[in-house]
């Protein structure tokens, strides 16, 4: 497990250190299992745009279907100036966006999830901590920030690791997955037409959802709460299926990266 977490891809429980038990104690009155069940019902609009992008490759063909979440009724199509189709091998800068404002997804999700001001404040702080952990770790490792290819890879790796009870892919498979994601994003017209605001929204959502699953699952396991751990594992499954548009049983890691049957 330590090898799997060695890059800034996983929001590991161990890295939260003593704060994990504090989170467990604080979140208990609000029901962590309930939050794990509820969150997939509210984050749809935040992943709508990135869910329409060709992210991974199906066996034998590119995934050209529109997968994942549909845009809410009445929402206009993606805005932003279309970029020309890149030529040659994509670079890390090809999937980097420019933030349009300070982080906003943690607070917005908290307002939709929390029933009281106290709950909303705690949830916002927890999700912000997950986002900050990712960005702080990226800075320490010299990993580029605001890179959607890395955020998607992080999201997939974290959720798959939790769902599979630690039977995640090896590092070369994850590196290949990241490269595949970057190539597909770079050559996808829908992604090129997304505005920086839409990319920032997807980026923050991917990171906080993955971090929340990992923190909640790890804390539940550490405290022996297997029922809550199971809820977070189910959330991890839903997260993967929502973004990738297929059952988790059809997701397989190969030397070429994660492919969908």
- What pLDDT sits at residue 30? 57
Q: What is the token pair recorded at 237?
A: 């499954």
pLDDT, residue 62, reads: 35
Beta strand 57-58 pairing with 251-254 = unpaired
Structure confidence at residue 217 (pLDDT) = 93
Domain parsing of the chain, residue ranges: 22-72+105-260
pLDDT in tens, the chain (261 residues): 333 333 333 333 333 433 444 444 444 445 678 888 888 889 989 999 998 898 876 544 433 333 333 333 333 333 333 333 344 456 667 899 999 999 999 999 999 999 899 989 999 999 999 999 999 999 999 989 999 999 999 999 999 999 999 887 888 989 999 999 999 999 999 999 999 999 999 999 999 999 999 999 999 999 999 999 999 999 999 999 999 999 999 998 888 899 888
Which residues touch 41 (CB under 8 Å, ≥6 apart)?
none
Buried b vs exposed e over 101-131: b needs ≥16 C-beta within 10 Å? eebebbbbbbebbbeeeebbebbbebbbbbb
- The residue whose two tokens read 């901590």 is 129
């Amino acid at each position: 497990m330590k090898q799997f977490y060695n890059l800034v891809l996983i929001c590991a429980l161990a890295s939260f250190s003593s704060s994990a038990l504090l989170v467990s104690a604080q979140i208990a009155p609000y029901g962590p299992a309930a939050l794990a069940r509820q969150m997939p019902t509210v984050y749809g609009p935040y992943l709508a745009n990135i869910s329409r992008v060709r992210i991974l490759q199906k066996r034998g063909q590119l995934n050209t279907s529109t997968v994942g979440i549909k845009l809410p009724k009445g929402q206009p199509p993606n805005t932003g100036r279309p970029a020309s189709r890149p030529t040659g091998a994509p670079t890390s800068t090809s999937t980097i966006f420019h933030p349009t404002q300070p982080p906003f997804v943690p607070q917005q999700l908290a307002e939709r999830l929390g029933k009281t001001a106290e709950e909303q404040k705690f949830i916002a702080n927890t999700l912000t901590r997950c986002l900050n952990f990712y960005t702080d770790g990226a800075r320490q490792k010299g990993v580029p920030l605001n890179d959607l290819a890395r955020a998607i890879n992080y999201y997939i790796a974290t959720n798959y690791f939790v769902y599979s009870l630690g039977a995640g892919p090896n590092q070369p498979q994850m590196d290949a997955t990241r490269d595949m994601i970057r190539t597909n994003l770079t050559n996808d017209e829908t992604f090129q037409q997304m505005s920086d605001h839409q990319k920032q929204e997807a980026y923050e959502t991917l990171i906080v959802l993955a971090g929340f699953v990992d923190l909640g699952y790890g804390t539940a396991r550490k405290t022996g709460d297997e029922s809550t751990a199971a809820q977070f594992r189910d959330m991890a499954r839903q997260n993967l299926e929502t973004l990738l548009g297929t059952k988790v049983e059809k997701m397989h890691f190969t030397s070429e990266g994660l492919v969908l049957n």
